Structure 1
Amino acid sequence: MNRKTTGRRTTARPFVPRQRTARTTPSWAAPDPVDRLAADLGDFAAAAVHPDEIAAALESDGLSDDQIRERYGVRDSFALAEELYARVPRRHPEPDTPPHDPWRVSLRACLLRGLVFALPGLAYVLGAPLLTGPPGALGLPPGTVPLLAGALFGWTWNQGLSHRAYAWLGLGDRHGARRCLLVGAPVGALLGALTALAVAGAADRAAVAFATGQSCYLGASTTLLVLGRERTLLAALAPLTAGALLALAHPLPDPVALTLLLGSLAAVMLLGLLSVAPSVRKPSGGAGAPGPMSSLPYALFGLGSGALVLYAALGDVLAGEEHSALAAPAAVALTLSMGPAEWLLYRFRSGSLATLRSTGTPRAFRRATLRTGAECLAAYLLILLALGPAATALWPHAPGLTAVRLADLLLLGAVLWTGLLLQSFGAALGTAAVCCAAALAQTLALLTHLTDPHGAALTVYATAAAVQALLVRTLLGRATAHR
């Protein structure tokens, strides 16, 4: 039937979108299955800040797309999640007890880890007599090449080994982690020693022996750190630490220095072996064992980040600017900063967990999370800003810390911290690619003898830091990455 029009103009009522509520059905009709599912999910669906969180829960419950189409009449889990998100009002129920925060850790424990990362560097003070002789390849101090090659291989291998062992621990299989370390640590030590020997060239045998001990230490210390034995490792390093501090004040006789070096090394290796010995007669369950290739991105991150730290320590020497002293204070500052860096990573995870409970929209969550990340990064750079000049002032014959060198240190710190942040969320492949590309660019810059090596390093670090900041914004701004 046609409707007659009148002289009055009618204005359409504006459409105001609003959130749908659960449908009510007559008593004689079958209840809507989507409403029943919304009631079953309860507070979880109400607290979700994005439909993808609900979709992840549906998939974890084993619902296939075929089952979803048959039961709920929508095409897949994402469509069902969007329907549930629209029907359930947003709310954040207060728990009966304070919510559990698994990311709260002791600052003292993180500082202890940073200390045990840095103390092994004192071995080079006691081992200096073993590295005497004419300059080696690329104008580096004698014996440096095998030491650096062994260290770089060790960082790469042990980073991947640590990830694989932590994966076993995540499965609740401590014996599996111990067996992984029992096999992986000696293999890595052997391969590291062979790597040092392969590049030794005309280097003295004492330098190769020192590099071999370094490889053994890296494997044993990795074992203790993964198993949470930081205090044990610190006690084993006590003779080395005391001897190095004495040597800084007055040179020690070579036999005494060598005895202290070997004593600490033997103690660390013995303690590492004892910590994994219980796994020999108790095989792991094997269920859900992580594949070795899953640890490759973490190993590559160790390679790229390790190379960048070495370039920070050797940049002046390789560029032909300094031949009397390495720019070791940069490496010392970065190593000491790893303890606070680890604590700030936990602070970020704790803050993002609190943000999940306090925000109700994806945009608000992203904004709050990125603000927390920026605050943690700024705190880390302030710590590095204090450590850099302090290490330079205390290191004998160290080159002056110019504004360019300080900028290099801070930008490299930003690359390392954002890389560790991405790695902690499982996004290791992206940060490994960035760090390895940056290390390759640094290598090419040195091989082509650029007129401004510090400017080239500044450009490389700034580019890598910008790319990783973009990765953090893209990957960690989603609520589903934090569940």
Structure 2
Amino acid sequence: MSGAPPTAPADPLGELAHRMDGVIAHAVHADEIAAVLESDGMTDDHIRRTYGRADSFALAEALYERVPRRYPEPSPPAADPWWTGLLGCLLRGLVFALPGLAYALAAPLLEDASLAPLLAGALTGWAWNQALSHRAHSWPALGDRPAALRCLRTGTAAGALLSTAAAVVCAGPGQWHVAVFASAQALYGSAATALLVLGRERALLYALLPTAGGTAVTVLHDLPPWSRTALLLASLAAATVLAVHATRTEPAVTGPDRARRPLRQARARPPHRPRVLASLPYGVFGLGAGTLVLYTALGDVLAGRTGAAVAAPAAVALTLSMGPAERLLRRFRDGTVAGLRASTTRGEFRRCTAAVLAECLCGYLAILFVLAVAGTVLWPGAPALGGVRSATLLLVGAVLWTGLLLQSSGAANQAAAVCAGAAAVQTLALLTGTGGPAIVGLCVAAVSASVLAVLVCVLLGRATAHRL
């Protein structure tokens, strides 16, 4: 006994409209629907027998009239990996500069201190932490955040030990207290590196509050040595504990991702590891840039003409300016991307790049100059900003900003070579007594800034250097 034949749908047109609802609702003309019908292989004969319409165009007209229009909302723009808010940039500049207050708070504890252990520990830490930051940032790009945390745990410990060893080796007889302070600074620098890489600027700012508050109190009332030491140790302990906690905390997988992602896949390692040598230029740049900053801040001190306190305004201005510098790096990137859309020839794009470079660099130098003037006015005993001193400061700032720009655009080797070469030339001139430190620093900074500006125009004046 055979089954009953299938009955035809009561409303074939309604069933087709329901099945093609998304296509019909988003169509701006009935011809779009007709094109879809024909691409699905509907012949005019099938349309006449099934839907009672003459052809695909008539059927499309009927479907277009039946379904109301619903236009899809435009998709939100993709997240910009370069985006850094203004508040975040200013906060980073603040946490870059506040550690310098530790030297002011510890000044009575460092009487008759030699600069050699402090400089050796600081330069070693700057170089190591710059390279470590690049390597730690490379792991998440490969999809392996746990590896980045392991890199930070081992790298920060190794960096603190290396900086401490450099300070101890350079410490002379009777300078053990300087070596201890340099060791504490090395430990803080390692902890701060881990927190900054992981985006914990606010936590680092809270850790620095004891040192900042203690320095502010000393302006009105002298503190005994034990309280100064306690405040410094409080900031050091807070930064260290926060860094240890941050590098041991991994984000939990919750929600649908946890259900559908197997444990083996979650723990799988990426097929490639970031090359260790790829981080070397960043360390070399950190060493060269740190040396130039120290020579700029300590030029008179190294020449034996004044004490170390006058170094503070220049050093603070340069470190505080690093926050606005990051914001202007973003501004340069936005300007060049806009130039890519507006330019029609290579020459036109190069001119656009040069104009954006001049705008951003001048903006950064203006901010740096304002910070230097404010520091000179507010800092007790600071020397006046003379022509050579202010010119050198601005030129070194130009070296730092253009070097960071090249780094962020994939030209880290060139930036490292120029900065390291400038630091080597200035060091050699200081050791051999060639020329005055101020004039040598001015000439070295001028040449370095000019070379880096040319490199930016040449390397970043190509459209292929600006990939989104």
Shorter-chain TM-score: what band? 0.7 to 0.9
Please give the per-residue CA displacement for 1:162-213, whole angstroms capped at 9, x wherever unaligned. Answer: 0001111222322121111011000000111011000001242111111010
Residue matched to 1:321: 305
The alignment partner of 1:321 has SS state of coil
362-371 vs 225-234, greater mean Cα deviation = 362-371
Residue matched to 1:375: 359
More helix by percentage: 2
Structure 2 distance, partners of 1:323, 1:263, is: 28
Unaligned runs of 5+ in 2: 1-72, 253-265
- 1:217 lines up with 2:201 in the alignment: no
Q: Which amino acid aligns with 1:472?
A: V
Residue matched to 1:401: 385
Q: Which runs of 4+ in 1 moved over 4 A?
A: 95-101, 279-284
Residue matched to 2:150: 179
- 1:470 lines up with 2:454 in the alignment: yes
Structure 2 distance, partners of 1:324, 1:435, is: 24
Quote how far apart the aligned CAs of 1:148 are. 1.0
151-160 vs 168-177, greater mean Cα deviation = 168-177
Unaligned runs of 5+ in 1: 1-94, 134-141
Residue matched to 2:60: none
Residue matched to 2:35: none
Quote how far apart the aligned CAs of 1:352 are. 1.6
Aligned positions, number: 381
Matches within 5 A, 1:253-332: 253-278=224-249, 285-323=269-307, 325-332=309-316
Residue matched to 1:106: 85
> Taking structure 1 as the reference length, what is the TM-score of the superposition?
0.76
Q: Which amino acid aligns with 2:324?
A: P
Residue matched to 2:368: 384
Quote how far apart the aligned CAs of 1:451 are. 4.4
Structure with larger RCO (C-alpha < 8 A, sep 6+) = 1
The alignment partner of 1:228 has SS state of coil
Q: Which amino acid aligns with 1:400?
A: A
422-431 vs 446-455, greater mean Cα deviation = 446-455
Q: 1:169 aligns with which of 140, 150, 168?
A: 140
Structure 1 distance, partners of 2:213, 2:304, is: 34
Structure 2 distance, partners of 1:162, 1:243, is: 30
The alignment partner of 1:326 has SS state of helix
Residue matched to 2:12: none
- 1:157 lines up with 2:128 in the alignment: yes
Matches within 5 A, 1:85-124: 100=78, 102=80, 103-124=82-103
Q: Is the contact made by 1:110 and 1:343 (CA closer than 8 Å) also made in structure 2?
A: yes
Distance 1:349 1:400, change over 3 A: same
Structure 2 distance, partners of 1:396, 1:170, is: 46
Quote how far apart the aligned CAs of 1:100 are. 4.6
Residue matched to 1:238: 209
C-alpha RMSD of matched pairs (Å) = 2.0
Structure 1 distance, partners of 2:207, 2:309, is: 29
The alignment partner of 1:297 has SS state of helix
158-167 vs 321-330, greater mean Cα deviation = 321-330
210-219 vs 443-452, greater mean Cα deviation = 443-452
Structure 2 distance, partners of 1:319, 1:216, is: 30
- 1:125 lines up with 2:104 in the alignment: yes
- 1:425 lines up with 2:433 in the alignment: no
Residue matched to 1:453: 437
Residue matched to 2:350: 366
Q: 1:479 aligns with which of 449, 463, 468?
A: 463
Q: Is the contact made by 2:143 and 2:270 (CA closer than 8 Å) also made in structure 1?
A: no
Structure 1 distance, partners of 2:341, 2:268, is: 37
Residue matched to 2:118: 147
> Taking structure 2 as the reference length, what is the TM-score of the superposition?
0.78
Q: Which amino acid aligns with 1:126?
A: L
The alignment partner of 2:249 has SS state of helix
Structure 2 distance, partners of 1:430, 1:321, is: 35
Which has more radius of gyration?
A: 2
Q: Which amino acid aligns with 1:235?
A: Y
Please give the per-residue CA displacement for 1:428-457, whole angstroms capped at 9, x wherever unaligned. Answer: 111111111111111122122244321111
